[in-house]
Chain A
Amino acid sequence: MKTTTAITRRTAIAGAAATLVAPAVVKAQGQTLKIGSLLPRSGFFAQAGQSMHRGVLAAPEMLKALGYNVEFVHIDTESNADVARTQAERAINDGCHILTGAFDSGQTLAIAQVTEQRQVPFVVNVAAAPQITEQGYKFLVRNFQTGGQLVTNGLRLIKDVMDAKSIQFEKAVFLHANDTFGTAQRNAMDAIWPRVGLPIQLVEKIAYDPRAQDLSVEVAKIRSINPDLVMCVTRASDAIKMVRDMVRQRFQPKAIISPGSPGFYDEEFYQALGPLADFVLFGLPWANPKSNMTQAFEKAFVKANPNNRFAVDSFNAGFAFEGMLIAADAFKRAGTTNGPQLMEAVRATNIPEHVMIGGPIIFDAKGQNPNIGSALVQNLKRVPTVVLPKDVALAEPVLPFPAWQGRS
């Protein structure tokens, strides 16, 4: 009996396919994850975008040391939602496997529409609008607090500092920018303030245009009310204007506290105001100064950005880095750059050791990390310093404020 090995047409096709696929399999094993970092590096949010970008620049060395194989594509969204949308499309067309971004909620939502349609994972690093994780996006996770969480935690920290320093505020004014972020914070304040039961009378809420040349009128109005606590939601340049006009108009509150906003910890704030930048407080998610990874990241940051201070950039840079870390970690577990599979790995993230204050990085069913903590930070000798909670604090809070006059 003669045995013959017949090569059927089906076997031939399978063999040919295997020959074609084999290099792809080999290639996948040594594949690099291409991360598109979308940030507003020019335009209205350029200052914050650049600060986050410095964190991205420090990420390669850190991630390499942690054994991740990643490549970065740096993209400027120009602080414009339409540009952000177009750039997200372009990044995906250019081969980015995952996107991170985008500091501003409006731009983040624009990018999310693209990533959802193209089934590419999107890790939100900073953006607080609640709707980002309320619209049922399947290809998005957010490693940042919502506006409501920011305000709730910020107000809780005000209560904590009042208890810690045995200080009482009687009247408060809430000053906020009337942009997307500021208005969202105002809405959160309206909803949350009555619930937190702070023993302070909130007498006025003042919205201002962040593009105004100065805040002299706003400060004149606050001065006429004479509150002992000013709560504010600002950006860097208007935080400068606010303090400058308070000093010029000789208005001296017991404290200025931001229940969750940028502005007071930017380098330009320190440069513009010098000693007058000291003692303002802000409750925000912040880099954990006592975490090993934060300390390692600080070294990488200083190496990548020798002209910038990590303490000042740690909020923006820390979240920018964590976005990269989440992406790289998911890729390592997924072993593929395929969008849906990579997204599955992103959703299953569990990173106990990381940079920012809080528990392990995980995501709930909506894609929100519920474990991000807040710290009360105070400018002391022009350095943003964690003063609460005590387990991560580096100094005692100073309250009430020393007078504007005579500071050096």
Chain B
Amino acid sequence: MDPPNGMLWSLYANVLVQGVLTGLVYGLMALGLSVIFGVVRVVNFAHGEFAVVGMYAAFVLFRSFGIDPFVSMLPIAAVFFVIGYGLQRTLINPFVSRPEHEQFILLVGLAIIMVNGTLMIFGPDARSANLSYSFDSWEIGAIIVDKVRVYAATAALAVAALLFAFFRFTATGVAIRACADNLVGAAVVGLDVKKLYALTFGLGLACVGAAGALMVTLTDATPMIAPAFTLLAFTIVIIGGMGSMTGAIVGGLLIGIAEAMASVLIAPSMKTMASFGLLVLVLALRPQGLLGRRA
């Protein structure tokens, strides 16, 4: 049974707004993956698992110390930066020049350890941060907007803007971009490539840590959600263009909107199909992604 015409349009408007807001958080999560691949050329197959660890970190900080995830996202991002930096210098770096399947095995192994680690520590139950405003919403005409979704989308945009500014306006950011554009040239002019790679990996993980903290305000943390996040981030990055930061945000938005609209126009259970349909379409028409550069 379809709702009356007026209700139908308000339904579309509500769903569209939710799609845009969720898409922005998706975009931030995928941004970390895109940054790492764009510079280090390593595909982080443990990306979703890091996001889930970020969710649990925000959950623990909220449950134990009452720290709002919108605040704890900053220290979580900082800690993830340090972890990413250390991980690149110790574990990942020896694999940078090795075949891709070896990188794949390394990171999948890391992902399995993380999933099982979180399962052992937190168990399989869904954990959520019950903020005092978790259930609040604004009613704007016929549109109802969740407060947390608006906050999360705004925070995601702010983090993305900071990252863009870092790469554009700081010497280190420019040096990282130089590494991404021309690795040999960067090495020739004396840039410390290993250090820049580690910084990039740290930044990528900081993004995913922040995104995880934001995600826990929208959905519940469970260890088993991690592979779905990894897949989602991959889909977004491939649609937006591997290595393109703007592409990650655009891809996130497109996936958010496509899933939301497919839910209402086709069937809610078909929303995943919509995102993969979009992926196939992009791969067929523009294999490098919407904003990616042709190899």
Q: Hey, which bits of chain A sit against chain B, CB under 8 A?
A: 42-44, 46-47, 49-50, 178, 203-204, 206-209, 211-218, 220-221, 223-226, 236-237, 240-241, 244, 247-250, 266-268, 271-272, 274, 276, 404
The size of the chain B interface, using a CB distance under 8 A, is: 43
15 additional A-B pairs beyond A209-B268, A244-B135, A248-B135, beta carbons within 8 Å, are: A42-B124, A50-B123, A206-B267, A207-B269, A212-B271, A213-B218, A216-B22, A217-B271, A218-B263, A220-B11, A236-B125, A237-B220, A248-B137, A249-B144, A268-B220
Chain A residue nearest to B11 in the complex (CB): A224
CB<8 Å pairs between A and B, sample of 5: A42-B124, A46-B119, A217-B271, A250-B144, A271-B128
B:111-140 near A, CB below 8 Å: 116, 119, 123-128, 130, 134-137, 139
Identity of the chain B residue whose Cβ is nearest the Cβ of A175 in the assembled complex: B268
**Contacts of A224 on B, CB cut-off 8 Å?**
3, 7-8, 10-11
What sequence of 0s and 1s flags, for each residue 131-175 of chain B, a beta carbon within 8 Å of any chain A beta carbon?
A: 000111101000010100000000000000000000000000000
Distance (whole angstroms) from the CB of A64 to the closest CB of chain B: 28
A42 and B268 form a contact (CB under 8 A) = no
Closest chain-B Cβ to A278's Cβ sits at a distance in Å of: 14
Question: A248 to chain B: which residues have CB within 8 Å?
Answer: 135-137, 144, 146
Contacts of A225 in B (CB 8 A): 1, 3
CA distance A347 to B156 in the complex (A): 60
Q: Given the known A-B contacts A208-B268, A209-B272, A221-B11, are A266 and B125 also in contact in the complex, defined by CB atoms under 8 Å?
A: yes
7 closest A-B pairs by beta carbon, nearest first, are A46-B124, A224-B3, A217-B263, A268-B125, A207-B269, A178-B269, A203-B1
Assembled-state Cα–Cα distance A215/B259 (Å): 12
Query: How far does the Cβ of A231 sit from chain B's closest Cβ, in whole Å?
Result: 15
The majority secondary structure among interface residues of chain A is: helix
| Distance to closest chain B CB from A75 (angstroms) | 16
Residues of A within 8 A of B128 (CB): 240, 271-272
CB within 8 A of A213: which of B125, B219, B223, B268?
Answer: B219
Cβ distance A226 to chain B, nearest Cβ, rounded Å: 8
A to B contact number (C-beta, < 8 Å): 117
In the assembly, what is the distance between CA of A241 and CA of B268, in Å? 14
Tell whether A274 pairs with B135 under 8 Å between CB atoms, given A212-B271, A224-B10, A248-B144.
no
**Max chain A Cβ within 10 angstroms of own Cβ: one of B7, B126, B137, B263:** B126
Complex interface: chain A residues within 8 A of B260 (CB): 216-217
Chain B residues near A178 (CB-CB < 8 A) = 269
Closest Cβ neighbor of B215 among chain A residues: A213
Q: Which residue of A lies closest to B224 (CB)?
A: A44
Tell me if B44 is interfacial: C-beta within 8 Å of chain A: no
In the complex the two chains form, what is the Cα distance from A49 to B116 in whole Å?
Answer: 16
User: Which residue among B8, B128, B223, B268 has the maximum number of chain A CB atoms within 10 Å of its CB?
Assistant: B268
A268 touches B1 (CB 8 A): no
- Nearest to B145 among chain A residues (CB) is A248
Q: For residue B263, which residues in chain A have a CB less than 8 angstroms away from its CB?
A: 217-218, 221
Closest chain A residue to B229 by CB distance? A213
> A217 with B15: in contact, given A50-B124, A266-B125 (CB under 8 Å)?
yes
Known: A206-B268, A224-B11. A274 touches B130 (CB 8 A): yes
A207: B residues at CB distance < 8 A: 267-269
Which partner residue on chain A sits nearest B124 by CB separation? A46
